[in-house]
Amino acid sequence: MGSSPTGFTMETRYIGSLGERIAEKCLRDKGYQILDRNYCFRLPGSPQKGEIDIVAKKADIISFVEVKTLRLTSFVWGKAFSPEVKVNFGKQRKLIKTAESWLMTKKIPLNSKWQIDVISVMIKGRKARISHFENAIAYA
């Protein structure tokens, strides 16, 4: 499969989308209500955009969920790094700004209860290993 100008292949997009669907099901099974998917926001003063994969709510807390998915081949299962390590400091800052934008767009006060979660999905064949890191990113 060929690469797109952004460097993503069709398979990469498919795996990412599959991971998001698995994460959404995981959240629903835990009692979360899904409020939004793939919310995009252009960061001020930057050509980059921020994206929140899933916005969900449980009780009175809104969770902005970043989903990281990795497809594993048989020889790397157990030796691979965990996908959540890709949520570096720059990505964290972008997630916070995008979450604040979503809240303002929906006219929800920034001092409402909200958090940023990370869901790691590792796929091997027809099996998935899912880890949900609640309130994974601190913001001030």
Q: Which domains does the chain have, with CATH numbers?
A: 10-133 (3.40.1350.10)
* SS3 (DSSP) at 12: helix
Distance CA 70, CA 82 (A): 8
Contacts of 13 (CB under 8 A, 6+ apart): none
Distance CA 87, CA 103 (A): 21
pTM of the predicted structure, to 2 decimals: 0.83
- The string of pLDDT tens digits covering residues 76-107 is 545 556 767 778 888 898 999 999 999 999 99
Q: What is the pLDDT, as a whole number, of residue 80?
A: 54
- Please say whether the beta carbons of 32 and 63 come within 8 A: yes
Tokens of 65: 């969920």
